[in-house]
């Protein structure tokens, strides 16, 4: 796929620069500098993990991100590898659409030491147990200017705070709802709660949700988009809110959220007819 992309861009007189961690870089390739290079588009060749990393590079720059799926599922990288030339040509010719997706911001109020963050996430912020596989008690609250209101406490493996974009990722696997990407909300999905009454919750994107561990002897871990990790103390609090930045995802004509949901997740697919 990379060689095909290089050939296409050379034929169109389009310059390429590569992210320094990109595997299989061609000899003499220019290295991407989002802050210093005259970049017009970030193109991600890979799966959703590659797309999430590319999106973090784009946060704050306003650069659009276009994904070509060379991985497995590719929910965010909606253009298949076999359509690489068609897709890139459409983008270069201005025939693609740009969808703006809001991000999440997570900050850590450290009980003993300097605070951490903010961390930016396109998909989700996860607070979960660290080390051995054991449940941990967690308290969830909503922080408002006038007062703090408790959502509740539960014992489980942790909690996922997902954006609408991330509602089809880890949160979905943990039983969370599917949310259209243009809905202004945040999904709070408990991970394996040891209770029949604890269920996922959808709150407004204007809310700030705080997550605090309740076991003084059990540290937690923070994971951003499944890629960035930070160790937490047992009494630290993670505050998650709508981020100030957005990510611009490039979609081809005809590629809609509902279409991708049906094709990638087999949502409401009919069972095969009997012969």
pLDDT reading at 33 higher than 70: no
Q: Please, what's the b/e burial string for 36-75 (b: 16 or more CB within 10 A of its CB; e: otherwise)?
A: eeebebbbbbbbbebbbbbbbbbbbeebbbbbbbbbeebb
For residue 51, say if its preceding peptide bond is cis, omega within 30 degrees of 0: no
Residues 34, 40, 45, 51, Cα dihedral to 10°: 60
Residue 235 CB partners (closer than 8 Å, separation 6+):
111, 112, 212, 213, 216
Same domain, residue pair 89 and 164: no
Same domain, residue pair 124 and 219: yes
Q: What is the pLDDT of residue 163?
A: 98
Same domain, residue pair 128 and 188: yes
Residues 225, 228, 234, 236, Cα dihedral to 10°: -80
Q: What is the pLDDT of the chain when averaged over all its residues? A: 88
pLDDT tens string 96-125 = 999 999 999 999 998 877 888 899 999 999
Same domain, residue pair 141 and 227: yes
Whether residue 236 contacts residue 226, with contact meaning beta carbons closer than 8 Å, is answered with no
pLDDT reading at 21 higher than 80: no
Same domain, residue pair 109 and 191: yes
Residue 12 to residues 28, 33, 92, 239, Cα–Cα distance (Å): 20, 22, 9, 46
**CATH code of residue 51:** 3.40.50.10330
Residue 275 lies in a domain: no
Same domain, residue pair 116 and 211: yes
- Residue 82 belongs to domain spanning: 2-95+253-265
* Higher-confidence position of 10 and 212: 212
Alpha helix (H) residue ranges in the chain? 2-11, 48-58, 84-92, 170-173, 257-265
Using 50, 70 and 90 to split pLDDT, how confident is the model at 5? confident
**CATH code of residue 125:** 2.60.200.30
What SS3 class is residue 45?
strand
What amino acid positions are annotated as catalytic residues?
Answer: 48
- Give the CA diameter of the chain: 67
Using 50, 70 and 90 to split pLDDT, how confident is the model at 78? confident
pLDDT tens string 181-195 = 999 999 999 999 999
Q: How many domains does the chain have?
A: 2
Beta-bridged to residue 45, according to DSSP, are 68
**Segment of 40-49, 55-64, 190-199 carrying the highest mean pLDDT:** 190-199
Q: What is the pLDDT of residue 57?
A: 86
- The closest alpha carbon to 104, from 47, 193, 170, belongs to 170
pLDDT reading at 198 higher than 80: yes
233/110 Cα distance (integer angstroms): 7
Beta-bridged to residue 55, according to DSSP, are none
Same domain, residue pair 118 and 66: no
Q: What is the pLDDT of residue 13?
A: 86
230/243 Cα distance (integer angstroms): 19
Residue 27 CB partners (closer than 8 Å, separation 6+):
none
If you average pLDDT over residues 124-131, what whole number do you get? Answer: 90
Same domain, residue pair 221 and 238: yes
Residue 116 lies in a domain: yes
Mapping DSSP onto H, E and C, the string for 109-126 reads ECCCCCCEEEEEECCEEE
pLDDT reading at 274 higher than 80: no
């Amino acid at each position: 796929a990379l060689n095909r992309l290089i050939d296409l861009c050379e034929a169109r007189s389009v310059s390429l620069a590569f992210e320094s961690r990109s595997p299989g870089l061609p000899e003499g390739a220019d290295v991407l500098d989002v802050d210093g290079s005259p970049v017009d588009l970030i193109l991600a060749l890979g799966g959703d993990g590659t797309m999430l990393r590319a999106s973090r590079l784009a946060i704050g720059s306003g650069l659009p991100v276009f994904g070509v799926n060379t991985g497995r599922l590719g929910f965010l990288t909606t253009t298949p590898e076999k359509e690489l030339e068609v897709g890139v040509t459409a983008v270069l010719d201005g025939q693609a659409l740009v969808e703006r997706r809001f991000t999440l911001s997570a900050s850590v109020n450290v009980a003993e030491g300097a605070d951490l963050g903010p961390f930016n996430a396109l998909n989700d912020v996860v607070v979960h147990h660290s080390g051995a596989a054991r449940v941990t008690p967690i308290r969830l609250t909503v922080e408002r200017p006038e007062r703090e209101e408790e959502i509740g406490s539960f014992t489980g493996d942790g909690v996922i705070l997902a954006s609408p974009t991330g509602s089809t990722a880890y949160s979905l696997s943990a039983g969370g709802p599917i949310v259209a990407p243009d809905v202004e909300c945040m999904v709070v999905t408990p991970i394996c709660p040891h209770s029949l009454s604890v269920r996922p919750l959808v709150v407004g994107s204007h809310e700030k949700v705080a997550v605090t561990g309740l076991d003084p002897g059990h540290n937690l871990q923070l994971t951003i988009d499944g890629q960035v990790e930070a160790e937490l103390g047992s009494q630290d609090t993670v505050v998650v809110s709508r981020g100030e930045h957005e990510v611009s995802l490039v979609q081809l004509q005809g590629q809609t959220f509902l279409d991708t949901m049906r094709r990638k997740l087999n949502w409401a697919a009919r069972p095969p007819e009997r012969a």
